Chain A
Amino acid sequence: MPDATDPAVSLRGVGRRYGERVVLRDVTLDLAAGQTLVIFGPNGAGKTTLVRMLATLLRAHAGEVRVLGSALPDEGYAVRGRIGFLGHEPLLYRELSGRENLRFHARLHRVAQAAGRVEAVLEAVGMQGRAADPVAELSRGMVQRLAVARAVLHEPELLLLDEPLANLDPAAVALLGPLIGAGGGRTRVLTSHDPAAGLAEADLVLGLKGGRARLLAPAAEVSTDQVAELYA
């Protein structure tokens, strides 16, 4: 039974492999509710694997994963509706419009007053004017904005954001701040390659390299140089 004092995310010796190749090994951390974990690391370090594991899309091959008080993967059903996931793919059907895609996801997530909520998030991401266009006809930045709208549509408690600002211009970054930024009070796990921007967002920092945790500390105790060393 989840306890109110449970960490929002708890990992104990978590590992994962693809075939024979180990991509994540022995990761242990606790993230308190309402805090932000920023994961740094070069390509192939295991960031995306870890985020997908927290999203219930991948299972750990070693260790224990608990998200919002539920053990994964066995209790995945209990947390899926409470997680908002923004990965490398927008998870939108190209031939459907942005509005149709969001209505589809709203129905899957059983969002109350779905039509109104869909229009609200479309407005929040500045896409109401192009909401009727097929996703295939939109620019990558616009698709990313719709992907953010999809991720927050059901008002999740935990946001998992894998390089969320990719493809976005500064105006779009400012526009999406209220939705996925630190101000929302949500627990967040995000990946970043930008030490300064990432540290500014973080409460807790995890640095991965070769699938191992090379750095795990409160953000206040981490310098940009320490993060940059991960990429050396």
Chain B
Amino acid sequence: MKSAVAALLSKELALELRTRESVPAMVMFSITTYVLFHFGLDRDTIDGDLASGVLWVTLLFAAMLGINRLFVAEHEQGGFDGFLLAPVDRTAMFVAKAIALFAFLCAVELVAVPAFALLLLGPPLGQALPGLIVVLLAANAGVAVVGTLVAALAIQTRARELMVALLALPLLVPVVLGAARATAPLLHQGGAAALPVDWLGLLALYDLLFALIAYAIFDFLLED
């Protein structure tokens, strides 16, 4: 399965580099939303729970754009058939897509998190950064796994965008909740507190649970 995942992943990254359909849109959305929060909240800076909530809700909605586009090329350009005709494990497509989405989210956050710190965050980002990176990686894994599963389901329907929103947002509540609660202590005005391990554990557990569900059912999503 490794070689199929590698082939699919390199194709996925090549397509994104050519078309630039997902990551730039997600970055623009994030920055625009932070600007809107900056003026909408009528506050120069935010910290703690509010900062954490603003950061994660924005990243979640930015992720929705990427989730919506994830299987479009497969659907519109025969990629599903091309893949299904090959003698490879069908789960390879799930793994490659999830890794690609994870990479897209990381790329977005490389710009979006500094933009958030610049536009909204009160306390300096530096002290919180090591812990925040851990939370970002754990949450990205959850969004990637759930998002890939939902995108594969939704692409078969006529109302793709609507289905993604209807399915992904409720399923991602535990991810955003865990990520926001784990991030909040890191963004306190008085200085970053320790990373809450229990919320991080919840995130990791949810990631694992959905990875197992996806592994079990992804084959059936590609079935006729």
Interface on A for B, CB 8 Å cutoff? 55-59, 73, 77, 80-81, 83, 85, 87, 89-96, 100, 104-105, 107-110, 134, 150
Q: Which residues of A contact B10 (CB under 8 A)?
A: 104
* Segment at the interface with A among B72-80, B153-161, B163-171, B209-217: B72-80
Chain B nearest CB from A81 CB (Å) reads: 4
Distance A89 CA – B81 CA, assembled complex (angstroms): 9
Is B79 in contact with A93, judged by CB distance below 8 angstroms? yes
Asked whether B84 lies within 8 Å of A87 as measured between CB atoms, the reply is: no
Within the complex, the shortest CB–CB distance from A61 to chain B, in Å, comes to 10
Q: Which residues of A contact B224 (CB under 8 A)?
A: 57-59, 73
B77 and A93 contact, CB distance less than 8 A: yes
B19 touches A96 (CB 8 A): no
Contact A96 B18 (CB under 8 A): yes
Contacts of A85 in B (CB 8 A): 81, 85
Task: Report yes or no: A96 in contact with B11, Cβ–Cβ below 8 A.
Answer: yes
Number of A-B contacts (CB under 8 A): 74
- Specify the chain B residue showing the minimal Cβ separation from A109: B86
Determine the chain A residues whose CB is within 8 A of the CB of B110 once the complex forms. Answer: none
User: Given A57, A58, A59, A92, which contacts B85 in the complex, CB threshold below 8 Å?
Assistant: A57
The 9 closest A-B pairs by CB, nearest first: A81-B87, A107-B7, A108-B86, A91-B78, A91-B82, A89-B78, A95-B18, A80-B87, A58-B224
Complex alpha-carbon distance, A94 and B73, angstroms: 9
Of the A-B pairs whose beta carbons lie under 8 Å apart in the complex, a sample of 12, sorted by A's number, is A57-B224, A80-B84, A83-B85, A87-B78, A91-B77, A91-B78, A91-B82, A93-B77, A95-B73, A107-B7, A108-B83, A108-B88
- Given the complex, which residues of A lie within 8 Å of B18, measured CB to CB? 95-96, 134
9 more CB-based (< 8 A) A-B contacts, given A80-B87, A85-B85:
A55-B85, A87-B78, A89-B81, A91-B82, A93-B15, A96-B18, A107-B3, A108-B7, A108-B88
